[in-house]
Amino acid sequence: MTASGPVDGAAAVGSAPASVEPAASVEPAAAAGSVDDPTTTSSTTSGTTTTGSTTSGPDLNRWRGIAADPEADRTAAETGTVQGIARLRSRSRVLLGSLIRPHRRLIGVAVVLLLLQNAAGMAGPYLVMLGIDRAIAPLRAGNAGPLVAVATAFGLAAVAEYAGKRGFLTLSTRIGQAILLDLRRRVYDHFLRLSVSFHERYTSGRLVARLTSDMDSIAELVDGGIDDLVLAVLSIVSVAGVLLWLDPPLAVVTLLAFPFLLWLSRWFARASASAYRRTRETVALVIVHFVESLGGIRAVQAFRREPRNQQIFTAVNDDHRRANLRAFRLIATYSPAIKVIGNVTIAAVLAYGGMRVLGGHVEIGVLAAFLLYLRRFFEPMQELSQFYNALQSATAALEKLAGVLDERPGVPEPTRPRPLPAGPVRGAVDLTAVSFGYRTDTPVLPELTLSIPAGQTVALVGATGAGKSTVAKLVARFYDPTRGTVTLDGIDLRDVADAELRRAVVMVTQENHLFAGSVADNIRFGRPGADDADVVAAADAIGAHDFIAALPAGYATDVHRRGGRLSAGQRQLVAFARAFLADPAVLILDEATSSLDIPSERLVQRALRTILADRTAIVIAHRLSTVEIADRVLVLDGGRVVEDGPPELLVTRDGRYAALHRQWQDSLLH
């Protein structure tokens, strides 16, 4: 159903839609961001030598031949306007809230378990202090009671910590997986619901990036990061509190490390934010390039584009590698630096604490506890750097997913649908003062009024780009008109429930996607409840039975991916049978017989006379032989009807149709 853009070469003709799509949505590659970076070009040159290509210094700013996607990885920070950022942030907050809400109670329990784990962990150094200061002296006096008590408490704390951690991990994994499941389901459902217009715009590479790398970043945080992150923050805060309570002067020495820590952390947060965003952008480009160029593999191979695609991929891939290196270099600086600060602090505390012990201001156990607590203070801080990155990428991913989830279908399902008039749908189609354009600046249909009575077969003819398919897409409601109305049996299509509309109006195009599976299943796609006899009858009616019966396993033959096992003409026949089985009141055939040979087309045409007898049909075809069965021909030019009448009458007139007809007949002779 995608718009057939400029067809990218003979080899791509009639291949699956994906191979046509890249050409349709091409943007100059410069938009892809990474290519602006002068370093990219130099790295690409070296990449070129390794891939063995002969061209030197490829200009990657030229057209890439894949759907370059400037918005492949846009996050709140890059959308520019302050309102834009605020909107995205609030959207992702709303999304997060709605994901978490069903698990509120379990999250509460998880928090309690986390607090338990933290408290039990915090008890350790304190018990060591008690052991040294309070239990050793009684032991000298022969009283082992206090030491046994302390040791028992230590053991209990260890068990509590174990239980808390285990319970928390089990629970948080369960919550995390439930959230991920929910999110994945929502995104998929939403993508299915979004209109064709969205999918013509949003490249498949981006779709894949949303469901893979974005989902992965959130999973990474949910699975491993979030508990450690919370625990780290919790333990840093509680340790700081305990230190102050144990011995304020010693705590002040520790606090001297704070300015350094703060400065270092701020530097890291800022540098890693941009570095990490870059890694997300580059990984999205890798995915987009991968999906888009392999989606068009036939055209790529037919035109020997492999070396160039390889170059581009090498460049994108290398960008990603360098972005990752940069991000990890930051970690490599930050994490050991924290450790150094930690160790220096420990040294200072040891020296100053030793003096305080000597001076009798604190007991030795307090110093020991202090040193143990400091460990619990600096260790999580080192790890925070990694969680910070995970948090950042998850936030960015969530923003992007929230953005997608916020897309409204271009043709929304009516909230209060109006039923079509009772009884079988008759299929009268009316376009009243319809204006439409895919972009606001270029109208495709300036103002079209057209009435097709129920049961009529109308042929739309006209030059390439005249707007024939556009009319078809409006009647099938893949788009809504900008102004004016399209009605079916007097009801505005915007008010008809989706299910009813799709039952009443079916469009067959030349792309006719077949899914991997048997021929019978592919035909049954038109009406899932149909039994085998119906399927055979439908195939027979349009003249496809003979070729299907001759397949190795007849109707059970697997057509393979995208119907790759069948010829283009055979795929059309199967798509035809599918549409016939669906038995719609309005059947739209957009170049649906373009791949058939003349005998098959004749066969289909003969079948069409009976098939179309009691239904409304819009037939679009460049081969005028197809048009002969029509009751009426409409010649379209620049989105306007310039001629209208029965074909046999128009042929005799000296108008556009007669001219088209003459040209067509000439073409048959030469």
Ligand X SMILES: Nc1ncnc2c1ncn2[C@@H]1O[C@H](COP(=O)(O)OP(=O)(O)OP(=O)(O)O)[C@@H](O)[C@H]1O
Taking the complex as a whole, how short is the minimal distance between the CB of residue 68 and ligand X, in angstroms?
17
CA neighbor of 274 nearest in space, from 77, 86, 43 = 77
Residue closer to ligand X by CB (options 33, 467) is: 467
- Out of ligand X, Mg ion, none, what residue 444 binds, judged by CB under 5 to 8 A for its kind, is ligand X
Taking the complex as a whole, how short is the minimal distance between the CB of residue 459 and ligand X, in angstroms?
13
Q: Is the CB of residue 579 less than 8 Å from the CB of residue 540?
A: no
- Out of ligand X, Mg ion, none, what residue 260 binds, judged by CB under 5 to 8 A for its kind, is none
Residue closer to Mg ion by CB (options 66, 472) is: 472
Helices (H) and strands (E) in the chain, counts: 25, 10
Taking the complex as a whole, how short is the minimal distance between the CB of residue 464 and ligand X, in angstroms?
4
CA neighbor of 571 nearest in space, from 525, 512, 626, 624 = 512
Where do runs of H (alpha helix) occur along 296-408? 297-302, 306-358, 364-406
CA neighbor of 582 nearest in space, from 506, 520, 508 = 506
Residues in contact with ligand X by the rule CB under 6 A:
3, 200, 438, 444, 462, 464-470
- Out of ligand X, Mg ion, none, what residue 466 binds, judged by CB under 5 to 8 A for its kind, is ligand X
- Out of ligand X, Mg ion, none, what residue 438 binds, judged by CB under 5 to 8 A for its kind, is ligand X
Cα separation, 277 vs 200, in Å, equals: 27
- Out of ligand X, Mg ion, none, what residue 385 binds, judged by CB under 5 to 8 A for its kind, is none
Helix (H) / strand (E) containing 620: strand 616-620
The DSSP annotation for 188-256 comes to: HHHHHHS-HHHHHHS-HHHHHHIIIIIHHHHHHIIIIIHHHHHHHHHHHHHHHHHHHHH-HHHHHHHHT
Helix (H) / strand (E) containing 266: helix 258-295
Residue closer to ligand X by CB (options 620, 650) is: 620
Cα separation, 202 vs 72, in Å, equals: 9
Residue closer to ligand X by CB (options 449, 610) is: 449
Where do runs of H (alpha helix) occur along 71-144? 82-100, 104-130, 136-140
Taking the complex as a whole, how short is the minimal distance between the CB of residue 66 and Mg ion, in angstroms?
24
Residue closer to Mg ion by CB (options 35, 475) is: 475
Residue closer to Mg ion by CB (options 226, 619) is: 619
Residue closer to Mg ion by CB (options 187, 589) is: 589
- Out of Mg ion, ligand X, none, what residue 284 binds, judged by CB under 5 to 8 A for its kind, is none
Q: State how far the alpha carbon of 499 is from the alpha carbons of 413, 504, 633, 657, in Å.
A: 10, 9, 30, 37
Two structure tokens written together for 476: 């099938």
Residue closer to ligand X by CB (options 6, 38) is: 6
- Out of ligand X, Mg ion, none, what residue 593 binds, judged by CB under 5 to 8 A for its kind, is none
Taking the complex as a whole, how short is the minimal distance between the CB of residue 466 and ligand X, in angstroms?
4
- Out of ligand X, Mg ion, none, what residue 49 binds, judged by CB under 5 to 8 A for its kind, is none
Cα separation, 9 vs 20, in Å, equals: 9
Cα separation, 307 vs 49, in Å, equals: 11
Taking the complex as a whole, how short is the minimal distance between the CB of residue 5 and ligand X, in angstroms?
8
Taking the complex as a whole, how short is the minimal distance between the CB of residue 457 and ligand X, in angstroms?
18
Taking the complex as a whole, how short is the minimal distance between the CB of residue 465 and ligand X, in angstroms?
4
Residue closer to ligand X by CB (options 247, 601) is: 601
Taking the complex as a whole, how short is the minimal distance between the CB of residue 179 and ligand X, in angstroms?
36
- Out of ligand X, Mg ion, none, what residue 400 binds, judged by CB under 5 to 8 A for its kind, is none
Taking the complex as a whole, how short is the minimal distance between the CB of residue 63 and ligand X, in angstroms?
18
- Out of ligand X, Mg ion, none, what residue 200 binds, judged by CB under 5 to 8 A for its kind, is ligand X
Residues in contact with Mg ion by the rule CB under 5 A:
469
Residue closer to ligand X by CB (options 140, 439) is: 439
Q: Is 152 exposed, middle or buried (0-12, 13-18, 19+ CB in 10 A)?
A: exposed
- The residue written with tokens 């649906």 in the block is 592
Q: Is the CB of residue 279 less than 8 Å from the CB of residue 1?
A: no
Partners of 451 in beta bridges: 430
